[in-house]
Amino acid sequence: MAGNWKMYKTPTEAADFVKALAPQVKDVHDKTMLLCAPFTALQKLSDAAVGTNIAVGAENLYWEDEGAFTGEVSAPMLKAVGCTYVIIGHSERRQYFGETDATVNKKLFAALKHNLLPIICVGETLAQREGNETFKVIETQINGAFQGVTNSHWTSIIIAYEPVWAIGTGKTATPAQAQEVHAFIRKLLPKDVANDIRILYGGSVKPENVKELMGQPDIDGGLVGGAALKVDSYLKLIKY
Ligand code: PEP
């Protein structure tokens, strides 16, 4: 269950979240709990998470290790502040910051090179869904993002299906709609690894709908924005 905090939480707020959450989830062994935070909060967040079963991730990275790339943050820098995961190609990055399947692919390889587990986001807009283009869009995004990926890489990769029309809108894909696309994505993956790859659903997951969504055979977890911002609500997602 991955939380995506987007542009919320100071370093102190991030650390306080983990201090409140950790004692309540110390007996959770059947789920991966991951909090993805703004760059500025990562050090304090991972310091607070030491000795807990909570993992820390970033929301973005740049593909070069270092250099004259003002404002960017690299995979080695994320490793140095305790990240083990990184979200790549979130729809907000694609929509507002010009990310494409080609940049997602470069970022994916940068993450893999430094043993960061990438969470690759794909998803269609409302216009694309209404135009019956969902499967074509997803296939193009998957093929572009994973160009050049070999079998040894696949099991380190996590995919998040996030219909753009469901992110932050309160509109959730029905479990059947989500399952249909998850099954489609799994079919696009190499047969020998497809069942081992975690495919997360994202788009207004909340305590009221988490159980039904997670009950779908091809939904392996969630990528959650709003409902992961408060300890009580995140806890309900973990203990559904
Ligand atoms: C997200 O940030 O990836 C997301 C799915 O947000 P929300 O849960 O708020 O829709």
Taking the domains of the chain in order of start, what are their residue ranges? 2-238
Catalytic residue among 59, 92, 162, 182: 162
The domain 2-238 is placed in CATH, from the list 3.40.50.300, 3.20.20.70, 3.40.50.720, 1.10.1740.10, at 3.20.20.70
pLDDT for 144: 98
Asked if residues 194 and 182 have their Cβ atoms less than 8 Å apart, the reply is no
Q: What is the mean pLDDT of residues 78-104?
A: 98
Q: What is the mean pLDDT of residues 136-161?
A: 96
Percent of the chain whose predicted confidence (pLDDT) is above 70: 100
Q: Which of 137, 228, 217, 130 lies closest to 178 in space, CA to CA?
A: 217
pLDDT tens across 108-131, in order? 999 999 999 999 999 999 999 999
Closest ligand 1 atom to residue 91 Cα is 3
Question: Measured in angstroms, how far is the CA atom of residue 238 from the centroid of ligand 1?
Answer: 16
Catalytic residue among 59, 90, 99, 124: 90
- Give dist(CA 240, CA 230) in Å, integer: 15
Asked if residues 48 and 15 have their Cβ atoms less than 8 Å apart, the reply is yes
The CB of 92 under 6 Å from ligand 1? The reply is no
162 noted as active-site residue: yes
List Cα–Cα distances, 187 to 127, 193, 195, 227, in angstroms: 24, 11, 9, 30
**pLDDT band, residue 168 (cuts 50/70/90):** confident
Q: What is the mean pLDDT of residues 32-38?
A: 98
The CB of 225 under 6 Å from ligand 1? The reply is yes
90 noted as active-site residue: yes
Closest ligand 1 atom to residue 169 Cα is 10
**pLDDT band, residue 36 (cuts 50/70/90):** very high
Residues near 173 by Cβ (< 8 Å), separated by ≥ 6?
163, 166, 181, 201, 203
pLDDT at 171 over 90: no
Question: Measured in angstroms, how far is the CA atom of residue 203 from the centroid of ligand 1?
Answer: 5
